[in-house]
Amino acid sequence: MRKNILITGASSGLGKGMAKEFAKQGCNLALCARRFELLEQLKSELEQVNPNITISIKVLDVNDHEHVFSVFNAFKEELNGLDRVIINAGMGKGASVGTGYFNANKQTAQTNFVAALAQAEAAMEIFRAQNHGHLVTISSISAVRGFRRAMTVYAATKAAITSLSEGIRIDVMHTPIKVSCVHPGFIRSEINEKVKTVPFIVDTETGCKALVKAINKEKANSFVPTWPWAFLHWILRIAPLSTIRKMS
């Protein structure tokens, strides 16, 4: 069992939901996000869920790359090692390329990929020194194709995350370090709360249970919830552009 788990972007949405599920399983938690007051609230909730676990919280803006390294190392020292790091922090701002929203698209690209790279670097330095650990990246079903409008840059960053994860996985093959990339379908969270009609969307709790189940299996790639995404992602890969256009 992976006992000590670090989750970024843990103050809300999928990060918060996963923290609750891991708390039920008796895991010690290292939780970080930008909003400390929400982390404090979450810590109190988790202590009610399981009073026998250690919960450490720290403020972290993942775009402050030097701070990523210092926070990850501080968590490692507090918990006497890290068994799993879940790179979850992300955002979904953006608009069609060339329509005057470069700053929003850039912010999404930096947060979802460059900051994720910083988190992966920090986690893997710890895992390499320990010679064990489980790196988990949260990609998206959107990684399998390009999408239009607000999804264009978001989908591109998630495709990059999937590729980055595979590269790291190849690098540490035949070692005690494991790398998993999870591709959620549509799960209700802060990032999509304003979107009204979404196909096959599930509530946050259902989605997070599926995420944690997939993470614990430690497969290289997983698509969750299993129905319909374990099947549907293959259809998306070969669907004509006209179909993809209607979906986004």
What pairs with residue 84 in β-bridges?
A: 5, 134
pTM for the model stands at 0.94
Choose between 233 and 47: higher pLDDT.
Answer: 47
Using 50, 70 and 90 to split pLDDT, how confident is the model at 244? Answer: confident
- Rounded to an integer, what is the distance from CA 65 to the centroid of its chain? 17
Cβ atoms 216, 1 nearer than 8 A: no
Percentage of residues of the chain with pLDDT beyond 90: 83
Q: How far apart are CA 224 and CA 200, in angstroms?
A: 11
DSSP string, 11-76: TSHHHHHHHHHHHHTT-EEEEEES-HHHHHHHHHHHHHH-TTS-EEEEE--TTSHHHHHHHHHHHH
Which residues in 193-206 are b (16+ Cβ under 10 Å) and which e? eeeeeeeeebebee
Cβ atoms 31, 55 nearer than 8 A: yes
What's the token pair of residue 142? 């959107």
What's the token pair of residue 89? 């922090």
Q: Does domain 4-247 have CATH number 3.40.50.720?
A: yes
- CA nearest neighbour of 62 among 51, 52, 70, 50: 70
- Rounded to an integer, what is the distance from CA 246 to the centroid of its chain? 26
Other residues' Cβ atoms within 10 Å of the Cβ of residue 1: 8
- Rounded to an integer, what is the distance from CA 1 to the centroid of its chain? 20
Catalytic residue numbers read 154
Name the residue ranges covered by the structural domains of the chain: 4-247
**Tens-digit pLDDT profile for residues 6-42:** 999 999 999 999 999 999 999 999 999 999 999 999 9
Choose between 103 and 244: higher pLDDT.
Answer: 103
**Tens-digit pLDDT profile for residues 68-107:** 999 999 999 999 999 999 999 999 999 999 999 999 999 9
What's the residue count for the chain?
248
